[in-house]
Amino acid sequence: MGYVHSWATDYIGVLITSREYTPGIGDILYVKVDDRYVLLQVIGYEGEVPVAPSSIVKEPLSKPPLYSLEKTMHARTSLFFEIRRLRTSGGEEVVVTKPYQPPPLDEKVFLVKKGDPESEEIMKLLSEGIKPLASSPSAVPVAWLRSGVAPVELLKKEKYFPEASLNIDLQRSLPKHVLVAGQTGSGKTTCVMGLITHWAWRGEPGLSWLVIDRHGEYSDDNPTGFLDTLRKALRINEELDKVGVQVYILDRNRSREETKKIGKKLQFLIGSVDIGSISLEDLSNIANLSEDRINELDEIVRTVTGLFKAIDESKLESEWVSVFVRNGAATGNLLALIPLLVDNVIRYEGIRESSKRGLYKMLLDLGIDIRKLRIYRRLILSVLGLEIKTDYIAMRGSMQSISVINDSGSVFKVSPILKEKTCLLKLLKALASAIPSRPVYPWLSVEIGQCSIPRLVEGPISIDNIVNELNNGNTVIVDVSKIPVSQGDVVITCILRRLFEHRMSIGVEKASALPRIAIVSEEAPLYLSPEKVSNPYNVFARIAREGRKFGIGLVAITQLATQIERQILANFNTVIALRTKYVSDINYFKNIGVPGEALPTLSDREGYLYTPDLSVKEPIPVYFPAYFDLSDRIAEEYEKVVSAESMAVSTGRKLAVLARSDEE
């Protein structure tokens, strides 16, 4: 399609001589020089009609003008890759490097195009030569090499090379963090879905995925959707025989669980969160409390915990006590009890009097007055999405108000003990028996009838169970799209804090024996912007800085990469740059070698992948297949596996019948 026409420091000029080719941004060209191929990438073009237009169009010409259009069209290209075959003691090895010198002038230039045998051979060599740094049997194909931009479906047949895949060792790369950036509609989510599907289909054990599903896209149980393809991919991968997918759909309107199992690999759990699985450390982290505030809240919790330990078993069953104090530590139900103690107990303990009594005196001796207690009361209610509801009890011929918890607007469900006034009175009386120098509370004289509740705890989903699933190597999807954003952030923060701090506590060596964990989250600037990372309790920022040491990595998805704090951005080892027109992002990606001219023109899921974990340290033009690009092949293999298993079962049954007949 042309010849090498000129050299310059930052580009190679190619003279276009083919009538059938018009240069396109991102096109891959090649020059064959002796025993090597020099690949060029189109980054621009220029041309002109050097004669007056009238001389061309005035009357038909049997021959083209002396200065034809083809001779005045040039493509600006950059040196892309150089492919060599080198002989080694073991045979022949393909080596791909960045060219350090241009191809000779006047050499023929060809277009890399699907369907052309030599082009397909070049792309296969490129795929073979770009490999993980260390020999890695766990490397999986995550993308297809491409030779240009395919703005419409039909052009994919010319530009994409599915048989020339780009392989990455996900277990090595994911803990070092992955940035997926592109404007709305560029295919970020389906790109990541494709990565997960590729791993499920071809990967090995030792990698867990935690998907934070903010928009309900990953948890859709459509029969032909992502989860169905993922389930089938896991089913046919014998290496991942013990790996399953747990989908937690958080719904604040469900206090009881609803489970649904699809096949052997996929299970849904729909419901709310047991507040008992929330700890004081979780609350302190989420609320970004100062060290003094944390210590004060800890003193309150320890004081109330001590009261539970001092209760006589004849006044409160051990099962009730375990709702609030388990293994000597306070549960989230005890945190939810604190606002009720302020409203129902402390307000009667001489707050405005010179002589303080009861629980309030115990706290006042620790330096915690009513103003601080009211601050912590509001803090607990707001962070956990709880409300105080006023109920009434008959007392001395009149109705006396009593505060109970209303958790209908929260995904965190408290024990029914805190929601039902009779049960709460029973609890308060038992606690009062353990308070020294207690006053006479009005509700002490109320006769309590039979307190019957169907269950002591509500909320089937436990934070600890989610963490255990990840540490066991499973894939977990947490759908927070049906609950308020603030409550979803609380759930996610609790999960990540426990994962990270548990691995920190056991040390790097023991953590390396656990599965690597990839945390997938949309809207990365929500938690990695400059103002957010200044918070020392921001667990996302802590993982971005230190997570790789403990096998925890972020897959951060964003529309604007440059909104992420600069030092955090530098921690992302692997970059997937998809279509964008934002100048700040284009300039950032140009600094790491991505051709900025191509970024605005890319089609869906077309992009550049850069990672130093490959033998070539340059951005590579690829197409990231979505799960639906793989679904037909996966479904075909799945049907073969299921049919083979059914036949084996049927044959086994027939043999068993024959064996019994012989015995008879």
| pLDDT tens, residue by residue, 381-402 | 999 999 999 998 887 777 888 9
104-151, pLDDT tens digit by residue?
Answer: 999 999 999 998 999 999 999 999 999 887 666 678 999 999 999 988
Q: Pick from 248, 250, 241: which is nearest to 267 by CA?
A: 248
Give residue 554's Cα distance to chain centre: 7
Output the pLDDT for position 463.
Answer: 93
- To which residue do tokens 């992009």 refer? 607
Query: Phi and psi for 608 in degrees, rounded to 5?
Result: -125, 135
Instruction: Return the minimum-mean-pLDDT range out of 116-125, 128-137, 340-349, 584-593.
Output: 128-137
* CB-based contact 422:451 (threshold 8 Å): yes
Residue 52: pLDDT band (50, 70, 90) is: low
In whole angstroms, what is the distance from residue 39 CA to residue 29 CA? 6
Residue 289 pLDDT class (50, 70, 90 cuts): confident
DSSP 9: S
Residue 231: pLDDT band (50, 70, 90) is: very high
Cα–Cα distance, 102 to 9 (Å, whole number): 10
Predicted pLDDT at 132: 85
- Looking at every residue in the chain, the average pLDDT score rounds to 89
Find all residues with CB under 8 Å of 63, minimum gap 6, and list them.
none
**Confidence at 653, pLDDT banded by 50, 70, 90:** low
Q: Are strands 258-262 and 2-7 parallel, antiparallel or unpaired?
A: unpaired
Cβ-based neighbours of 657, under 8 Å, separated by 6 or more: none
**Bigger pLDDT: 288 vs 359:** 359
